[in-house]
Amino acid sequence: MQPFHLALPVDDLTHARAFYGELLGCREGRSAPKWIDFDFFHHQLSVHLRPEACAAAQTNPVDGDNIPVRHFGVVLPWAEWAALHTRLSESGVTFLLAPKTRFVGEPGEQGTFFLTDPAGNALEFKTFRDMTRLFAR
C-alpha cells in the first residue's frame, strides 16, 4: 500500500504536537515555524498553522449517528483498533462518537470511533472484522 499525504489546518502547533505526537503516538518528521509533519500510521500528515481555516465540519446521518462530513482517519487491524480505543479511553479522551460496531451482520461490519483534534479536525479510527470486505457492497 502506498502512503497518502494529507495537509490540514490547525490553530496551535503546540496543541497539535501534543495531540498527534504525544496522545496518538505519531512520530514527528520535518517541521518549520508554521508546519509539522507526522507519521500518521505510516502516512504523511502535515499540519499547517492557519487558525482562520479551522472550522467544525457539517454532519450527515450515518447508521443513526451524526458523522462529520469532513474527516479523515485510518483503518486498523481489530486488535490494534481495540488497543488504541482502550489507551485513549484511559487517557481521558472525549470521543466525538464513542467506539461502536456498525452495520452488524452486513458486508461492511466495522468498529469505529471519532474524535477531534484541538483545532476541530475530525478523525475516524475504524476496523473491519474481515479486511477483505473494506469495499464490499
Are 20 and 81 within one domain?
Answer: no
The predicted pLDDT at position 21 comes to 97
Q: What is the pLDDT of residues 97-118, one digit of tens each?
A: 999 998 888 888 899 999 999 9
Residue 73 C-alpha cell reads as: 482517519
Cα-based distances in Å from 51 to 7, 11, 16, 76, 128: 14, 4, 12, 30, 35
Same domain, 66 and 42: no
pLDDT for position 20: 98
Give the global pTM. 0.92
Let me know whether 64 and 120 are in one domain: yes
Over residues 9-62, the pLDDT tens digits come to 999 999 999 999 999 999 999 999 999 999 999 999 999 999 999 988 899 998
CATH of the domain at 74: 3.10.180.10
Residue 129 has pLDDT above 90, yes or no: no
User: Can you give the pLDDT at residue 30?
Assistant: 97
In whole angstroms, what is the distance from residue 128 CA to residue 116 CA? Answer: 22
Q: Specify whether 77 is located in the same domain as 108.
A: yes
Average of per-residue pLDDT across 76-101: 95
Measured between its terminal Cα atoms, the distance across the chain in Å is 22
Check residue 115 and give its pLDDT.
96
Same domain for 46 and 99?
A: no
Distance between CA atoms of 129 and 127, rounded to whole angstroms?
A: 7
User: Are 45 and 97 contained in the same domain?
Assistant: no
Domain count, the chain: 2
| Higher-pLDDT residue of 6, 106 | 6
If asked whether residues 38 and 85 sit together in one domain, one would say no
CATH of the domain at 26: 3.30.720.120
Does 39 share its domain with 96?
no
Pair (129, 67) in one structural domain: yes
Pair (39, 77) in one structural domain: no
55-61 contacts, C-beta under 8 A, 24 or more apart: 55/120, 56/120, 57/120, 57/122
Residue pair 109/103 in contact by the 8 Å Cβ criterion: yes
For residues 89 and 123, membership in a common domain is answered with: yes
The residue range of the domain holding 38 is 5-50
* Cα 75–chain centre separation: 9
Q: Alpha-carbon distance 27 to 22, whole Å?
A: 9
